[in-house]
Structure 1
Amino acid sequence: MASAPISKRSIDIAGKKFAFSARQGVDWSNYLAYRPAYPQSFFERIYNYHAQKAGTAWSVAHDIGAGCGVVSSVLASRFDSVIVSDPNDGYAELAREFILEKTSFPESKFKFLQETAEESSLESGIVDLVTACECIHWTTPEIAIREFGRQLGAGGTLAITYYTRPLIEANERAVRAYKAVWDAFSKKVQGEICERACKINNTALESLEFPEKDWEALKRIYINTQGTLDSFMLDDRTVESRVKESEEKVWVEDDDWCDMCGIEWLKGYAATWEPPIQESEIQDIWDELERALEGKQVKTRTPVVMILATKRA
């Protein structure tokens, strides 16, 4: 589902070095190679929502749970400064290395912090945009969301996003085999933290609550879901929805989160999830999927949910 603490060890991929976790083997080079890339439309939805408000400021963005800084590096093109934070050992330094290699921005444009989503060292009301991408399920959401609001100034924007596994289209045999991969994975999702994360993600973040006294203009955008939340469900573990009637829902199909993928990419993507499931554990399933693909690539669509909210004055 996400990632783990890293060591100082690094590897080289495509001429660049990216550190990875010695504890659980989470390899950031694989994450960058096999996770879906954030399309420009993803950022434009955030920017357009933020720009609609009177007196919009583009001074400070805070990318929370930033990992190696993929989202942070893009936010820097629109905001004067970007705070990059993650609770895991070594991630802030990794993000610094990644961003300074990937972009031409000066280091002075960024502030790198190791801290949790639930408790930040930042002063209150100094941030214009908070992003929490692919990480809210690893937090205690009600505490984290309250903390996000503390950091934001009045009228500031909160963007919480999550994408689930890409889904195969137009090949029923491959669809069945790929589903078996994730059925096997879901059985490994055990323990209190993983259970909570699974329930949050299975409900497409609809369990997240945004008190109306603190938040307004809340919008939930569902991308590539075909009008249902079923695309997000790995299994039947769910939790109560806290979506209010006042919240706007937007459904978008055939977005940029689509691709053509082969068996190696699908294996690589599955290997980026936590807890890990070794290919050898389900070799028969992978063999069936490979036969179903017949050496060809298949179209995939990635379901995504984006929650955009405004801090009340």
Structure 2
Amino acid sequence: MASTLVSMPSTNTTVKQYAFAARQGTDWSYYLAHRPAYPQSFFERIYSYHAQKSGAAWSVAHDIGAGCGVVSAVLASRFDSVIVSDPNDGYTKLAREYLLEKTSFPESKFKFLQETAEESSVGSGTVDLIAACECIHWTTPDVAIGEFGRQLGAGGTLAITYYTRPLIEGNERAARAWKAVWDAFPKKVQRYGIGENPYKIGNTALESLEFPEENWEAIKRIYINSQGTVDSFMLDDRIIESRVKESEEKVWVEEDDDWCDVCDIEWLKGYVATWEPRLQESEIQDIWDELEAALEGKPVKTRTPIVMILATKRG
């Protein structure tokens, strides 16, 4: 990534915990090394939206679906305290180790909870900002968004974000081979028995998420590096009905270098390996061979599409 990236703490040990689907282990060291890092501009968009409100509070943030805590680490620099929650066994334990060993923040800065997005022990109206990054598609969104609204105080900010696989630029042959990798992925999903909704939600760039007007206002959807369409998010043709309202603001941001990178074949293979269910290299060896031949041993530029939804809890 570019030099504007947030410097995230690194970990020298390999720790395996349950994966998103609770079927196999996730090596978080590997995950962090083969996923796009959140740039400073990502957080500044969220903070700028929150700061525009009269009397915006910076006391409590809640990082939902926190994984090993990379977003929590950044939120902790702006909020007095951060709730770190995830439903998966072992994730909050790992997040505690990650945040306390690799940052300078005291343990009192954080509260760690193993619980779902749909049902939380957090008190009503006690949170100023909720971040749900790269996780909403694994929830029951209507229920989760209702729960987010319960936790937020009046004027609180909800930030829901999702990025999809990076797209290859400047090498048409490599781009075709990379697309073929992802054309094989939905077939694996169907065989693996994962429900369709997570992929339908992602395919439509979260446009199926609804924010009832009696509870939410100032809804802003920011599409970055998507070329003016949600097609960049589609892995296949499975979609779900859009519930975007005319009152919602849409912002299209193109050529955002903070979400571009220069990657080699090993990073691309590593990125695919972070998705669930695991698509083994041997299952599509001919496609990987074609991609490697197209790259001719050289790295290639990638552009990652991302959508950010910002919403305010009504008073």
Common fold: TM-score over 0.5: yes
Deviations 1:149-172 (A, max 9, x none): 000000000000000000000101
Structure 2 residue runs without a partner (length 5+):
1-9
**Amino acid across the alignment from 2:304:** T
Specify the alignment match of 2:48 in structure 1.
48
**Amino acid across the alignment from 1:210:** F
Specify the alignment match of 2:237 in structure 1.
236
Alignment of 1:108-119 (within 5 A): 108-119=108-119
Counting aligned pairs with the same residue, the percent is: 81
Specify the alignment match of 1:72 in structure 2.
72
Q: Distance in 1 between matches of 2:143 and 2:253?
A: 30
Specify the alignment match of 1:8 in structure 2.
none
Q: Distance in 1 between matches of 2:15 and 2:195?
A: 26
SS, match of residue 245 in structure 1: coil
Q: Distance in 1 between matches of 2:125 and 2:193?
A: 33
SS, match of residue 93 in structure 2: helix
Native 8 Å contact 2:11 2:102 kept in 1 = no
Q: Shift of the alpha carbon at 1:205? A: 0.1
Specify the alignment match of 1:227 in structure 2.
228
Q: Shift of the alpha carbon at 1:101? A: 2.0
Native 8 Å contact 2:265 2:299 kept in 1 = yes
Alignment of 1:131-280 (within 5 A): 131-190=131-190, 193-255=194-256, 256-280=258-282
**Amino acid across the alignment from 1:283:** Q
Q: Shift of the alpha carbon at 1:292? A: 0.2
Specify the alignment match of 1:58 in structure 2.
58
Q: Shift of the alpha carbon at 1:189? A: 1.7
Deviations 1:63-115 (A, max 9, x none): 00000001001000000000000000111100001111221000100000000
Q: Distance in 2 between matches of 1:65 and 1:186?
A: 23
Deviations 1:17-75 (A, max 9, x none): 43333841322111111000000000000000000000000000000000000100100
Deviations 1:219-274 (A, max 9, x none): 00000001111100000000100000000000001211000000000000000000
Structure 1 residue runs without a partner (length 5+):
1-12
Native 8 Å contact 1:202 1:232 kept in 2 = yes
Summarize the Cα distance change of 1:203–1:33 in structure 2 as closer, same or farther, 3 Å threshold. same
Deviations 1:99-142 (A, max 9, x none): 11221000100000000000000110000000100000000000
Specify the alignment match of 1:3 in structure 2.
none
SS, match of residue 251 in structure 1: strand
Specify the alignment match of 1:91 in structure 2.
91
Native 8 Å contact 2:11 2:29 kept in 1 = no
Q: Distance in 2 between matches of 1:17 and 1:171?
A: 34
Normalising by the residue count of structure 2, what TM-score does the alignment of the two structures yield? 0.93
Q: Shift of the alpha carbon at 1:16? A: 3.8
**Amino acid across the alignment from 1:309:** A
**Amino acid across the alignment from 2:210:** E
Q: Distance in 2 between matches of 1:50 and 1:108?
A: 24
Q: Distance in 2 between matches of 1:192 and 1:210?
A: 29
CA RMSD in angstroms comes to: 1.3
Native 8 Å contact 1:119 1:144 kept in 2 = yes
Specify the alignment match of 2:18 in structure 1.
21
Normalising by the residue count of structure 1, what TM-score does the alignment of the two structures yield? 0.94
Summarize the Cα distance change of 1:193–1:218 in structure 2 as closer, same or farther, 3 Å threshold. farther
- Name which of 296, 299, 308 aligns with 1:297: 299
